[in-house]
Amino acid sequence: MRLLARMILGAMDQPTKHSQRMTSRHVAELSGVSQTTVSRVLSGHPNVSPRTRGRVLQVLEETGYAPNLAARAMRTGATDAIGVVMGSVTNPFYPMLAEALHREISKAQRTMTLWISDGEVTDSGEQGALHAVRERSVDGVIYTTATPDSASLSAAITVGAPLVLINRVIDDVRCDSIVTDGAAGARAAVVHLAELGHERLGMACGPRAVSTTHDREQGFLAGLAAAGLPVETALHYRGDFTHECGRQAFDRLWDAPGGPVTAIFCVNDVIAFGVLDRARERGVDVPGEISVVGYDDTEQAQWSAYRLTTIRQPVAAMAALGVGCLLERVADRTLAPRRELLPAVLVPRASTGPVPS
Amino acid sequence: MRLLARMILGAMDQPTKHSQRMTSRHVAELSGVSQTTVSRVLSGHPNVSPRTRGRVLQVLEETGYAPNLAARAMRTGATDAIGVVMGSVTNPFYPMLAEALHREISKAQRTMTLWISDGEVTDSGEQGALHAVRERSVDGVIYTTATPDSASLSAAITVGAPLVLINRVIDDVRCDSIVTDGAAGARAAVVHLAELGHERLGMACGPRAVSTTHDREQGFLAGLAAAGLPVETALHYRGDFTHECGRQAFDRLWDAPGGPVTAIFCVNDVIAFGVLDRARERGVDVPGEISVVGYDDTEQAQWSAYRLTTIRQPVAAMAALGVGCLLERVADRTLAPRRELLPAVLVPRASTGPVPS
DNA sequence: CTGAAAGCGCTTACAG
DNA sequence: CTGAAAGCGCTTACAG
């Protein structure tokens, strides 16, 4: 037995013999117990005598054995991998979110599989996730940039995989969703501007179908109503979520037919940076001549180039809730869909000030 | 048989019966062939009659069958997952790289498992990757932020897993590495500045142990020598890779004992943004009073807040080579380590100009 | 061209 | 407390 042990260990030392690595059976032989017992020790099963456990643990330590996850997955049906779908990583909000999600996923001893949508094929990330769900290579998927018209997403729902929508909601879709209160956030931005005396407000939005844009637009309108200000939909510039969109929004709203706006609320920080940069290019003073509010509170927002007043999303809490929901759902697929609405807070900085007189 | 087929299909329709999904055996029964034949059709094995193949393909289509990846992985030993380790996603260079890697990994029909190092535990991403390599849940790992002192990385090498270092090199480490020529890039920056008449140049670096910093410092020194300029190591500000580091570098180099520098070369764009922002805060004109060069050519570099002259890395090529190397190595572990050096090019913008007279 | 069978490395009843 | 055995769903010699 000892000799066998040595032979096995010897083979293990060969780095070239990489293809045949330590298995629980090897560990069993080395510890003089059955493979079943090794499995029990590994899983912390109570029915193992302290003596046996000790012996096995020592061999485990010596050999640096780690269970083959594919084999375990085949038995248990769980891969311990969680998928995350992201539509963009150019917008720094998403790396922030990815980092927070990764932290939670690691904390839960899981692995993060990431799909990033291709610029051309917006749906590509979700298609990858759908495929993985079909092949059972992830236990569930967190979508951070879901849109209602995604065929892949609805296919994934049909398959019955555990799914969580984070950052965006879709009506009539049977899965958990974790979002921040975009309407309240936008409303707070408008109230802030109204308090500074602004009466002619513009907004820079993304596509209407995206829930974040929709919610923030509703909040913007609600804020105007609450402040007794008129609604001028002509002052809603609609583009995508880019810096260039912000630049164009500035031009449109500064040169608006009824005269320039005195403040612009942007549906995200990147757009706001575009607005601010365009203002700088045209020599328009911020906040002397125009105030700007963003959304997300990305790291750049506090840089002195921008000092952007913005709405902060509780990214860490979103990630924790999202991963938590998903794992609960993996454990019990019959759970009713959950909807969580987290608060967003206004972070005032130097890009907003009193209305010019 | 037809009845059985219906029963099986019927069960498949139940979304609640999610736990027991279609297997190749079901497909076999539905097509009236052996499970072996289904497997052959799936893998494109030539020895299948056109008639049989057609029948199986149709059932495959109807049922939407997808093979269980864990089962395949257990048989073949390959999971088709590729790990990527990143030390930071706050620096926008890394999201760019992640996106490029994702594109290549998807193109190769693989899945991307991502580890992001925790801010506190810099090594955490690499530990996750090491664990995954031990558990065989990835076929190989691409490290984008490797440092020589990482215990996890050397452990992964010992395990014998296919590994590729991208963006950073480590001497004496037996694995492929794909980097851009940081020395040449930095040298080009210095030459550019020298041509503009600058003679007193400062540099803002990261930690010395990081290869990117090291290479770019060497290139900086070589550039000075080539231009016949004196080397003043006092003008090397050393910090981390952050915006704040750039702000401090500016103060240090502008208020340098021997008088202000007229140009600063930064080891990455984020530091350069910090330098530019600090210059703006202190009312120092760029490029009128000081020129600034970055490194990476991130998206923000072209924004009008910065218009940063910088060195562009061929991110797409790095990703393609990195993934290519890794897959070759997965297929043949005996391959000799490869080192690829890609060119980096200077992108002149408005942050550099003639030396102030 | 086709199929029965072995086996990848685990977990988990089942029997003692 | 312990072990022999079945089986997760594939791929791949092996035999016809």
Nearest-CA distance from A221 to chain B in Å? Answer: 31
| Residues within 8 A of B (CB atoms), A 148-167 only | 158-161
DSSP 8-class letter at A44: T
Which of A70, A114, A273 shows the shortest C-beta gap to B114? A114
B174 inside 8 A of chain A by CB: no
Which of B90, B96, B161 shows the shortest C-beta gap to A299? B90
Which nucleotides of chain D have an atom under 7 angstroms from any protein CB? 1-5, 7-13
Per residue in A271-310, pLDDT (tens digit) is 999 999 999 999 999 999 999 999 999 999 999 999 999 9
Who contacts A136 (Cβ-Cβ below 8 Å, separation ≥6)? A73, A77, A79, B21, B68, B69, B70
A307 inside 8 A of chain B by CB: no
Nearest-CA distance from A292 to chain B in Å? Answer: 15
Task: Please give the residue that has the higher pLDDT: either A263 or A2.
Answer: A263
Per residue in B154-163, pLDDT (tens digit) is 899 888 899 9
Which of B70, B115, B299 shows the shortest C-beta gap to A70? B70
pLDDT of A243 over the 70 cut: yes
Q: Are strands A345-347 and A310-312 parallel, antiparallel or unpaired?
A: antiparallel
pLDDT of A337 over the 70 cut: yes
Mean pLDDT, rounded, for B1-30: 56
CB-CB neighbors (< 8 A) of B102 in chain A: 114-116
What pLDDT is recorded for position A20?
56
DSSP secondary structure string for all residues of A210-241: SHHHHHHHHHHHHHHHHTTPPP-GGGEEE--S
Which of B21, B98, B112 shows the shortest C-beta gap to A89? B98
How far, in Å, is the CA of B76 from the C1' of nucleotide C9?
12
Taken as a whole, chain B contains a residue count of 357
Three-class SS of chain B: CHHHHHHHHHHHHCHHHHHCCCCHHHHHHHHCCCHHHHHHHHHCCCCCCHHHHHHHHHHHHHHCCCCCHHHHHHHHCCCCEEEEEECCCCCCHHHHHHHHHHHHHHHCCCEEEEEECCCCCCCHHHHHHHHHHHHCCCCEEEECCCCCCCHHHHHHHHHCCCEEEECCCCCCCCCEEEEECHHHHHHHHHHHHHHCCCCCEEEEECCCCCHHHHHHHHHHHHHHHHCCCCCCHHHEEECCCCHHHHHHHHHHHHCCCCCCCCEEEECCHHHHHHHHHHHHHCCCCCCCCCEEECCECCHHHHCCCCCCEEEECCHHHHHHHHHHHHHHHHHCCCCCCCEEEECCEEECCCCCCCCCC
8 Å CB contact between B308 and B280: no
DSSP 8-class letter at A111: E
Side-by-side strand order, sheet with B201-205: B236-238, B201-205, B263-266, B291-293
Q: Chain centroid to CA B10: how far?
A: 46
Which nucleotides of chain C have an atom under 7 angstroms from any protein CB? 1-5, 7-13
What pLDDT is recorded for position A1?
35
The token pair at B18 is: 């999610």
CB-CB neighbors (< 8 A) of B113 in chain A: 81, 111-114
How many angstroms separate the Cα of B5 from the Cα of each of A286, B2, B54, B101?
70, 5, 17, 43
Contact B118 A103 (CB under 8 A): yes
How far, in Å, is the CA of A77 from the C1' of nucleotide C12?
13
A115 inside 8 A of chain B by CB: yes
The token pair at A16 is: 């070239």
pLDDT of B17 over the 60 cut: no
Mean pLDDT, rounded, for A228-255: 94
Query: Looking at A104-118, B89-103, B165-179, which range is the least confident one?
Result: B165-179
Q: Least CA distance to A86: which residue of chain B?
A: B99
How many angstroms separate the Cα of B233 from the Cα of each of B135, B201, B203, B228, B273?
47, 10, 9, 15, 22
What average pLDDT does the structure give for chain A?
91
What pLDDT is recorded for position A118?
75
Which of A19, A113, A303 shows the shortest C-beta gap to B277? A303
Contact B273 A118 (CB under 8 A): no
**What percent of chain A has pLDDT above 90?**
79
What pLDDT is recorded for position B20?
56
Per residue in A154-205, pLDDT (tens digit) is 899 988 899 999 999 888 788 899 999 999 999 999 999 999 999 999 999 9
Contact A113 B113 (CB under 8 A): yes
What pLDDT is recorded for position B46?
87
The token pair at B114 is: 């991502």
Three-class SS of A308-347: CEEEECCHHHHHHHHHHHHHHHHHCCCCCCCEEEECCEEE
Query: Looking at A80-84, A98-102, A312-316, B20-24, which range is the least confident one?
Result: B20-24
Q: Please tell me whether residue A208 adopts helix, strand or coil conformation.
A: coil
CA distance A319 to B78: 31
The token pair at B33 is: 């062939």
Q: Are strands A176-180 and A140-143 parallel, antiparallel or unpaired?
A: unpaired
Per residue in B203-240, pLDDT (tens digit) is 999 999 899 999 999 999 999 999 999 888 889 999 99
User: Residue B350 — φ and ψ, nearest 5°?
Assistant: -90, 5
How far, in Å, is the CA of A131 from the C1' of nucleotide D13?
30
Per residue in A100-158, pLDDT (tens digit) is 999 999 999 999 999 998 777 778 888 999 999 999 999 999 999 998 888 888 899 98
pLDDT of A227 over the 90 cut: yes
pLDDT of A332 over the 50 cut: yes
Contact A136 B70 (CB under 8 A): yes
CB-CB neighbors (< 8 A) of A280 in chain B: 304-305
pLDDT of B1 over the 80 cut: no
Mean pLDDT, rounded, for B127-152: 93
Mean pLDDT, rounded, for B103-112: 96
What average pLDDT does the structure give for chain B?
91
Per residue in B62-82, pLDDT (tens digit) is 999 999 999 999 999 999 999
Mean pLDDT, rounded, for B116-127: 81
How many angstroms separate the Cα of A146 from the Cα of each of A88, A122, A276, A327, B18?
11, 10, 28, 19, 23
Measured over the CA atoms of residue B186, residue B187, residue B189 and residue B194, the dihedral's sign is: positive
For residue B121, name the pLDDT band (cuts at 50, 70, 90): confident
CB-CB neighbors (< 8 A) of B139 in chain A: none
| Residues within 8 A of B (CB atoms), A 268-297 only | 273-274, 276-278, 280-281
Q: Please tell me whether residue A179 adopts helix, strand or coil conformation.
A: strand
pLDDT of A41 over the 70 cut: yes
What pLDDT is recorded for position A304?
96
Query: Looking at B2-16, B109-123, B338-352, which range is the least confident one?
Result: B2-16
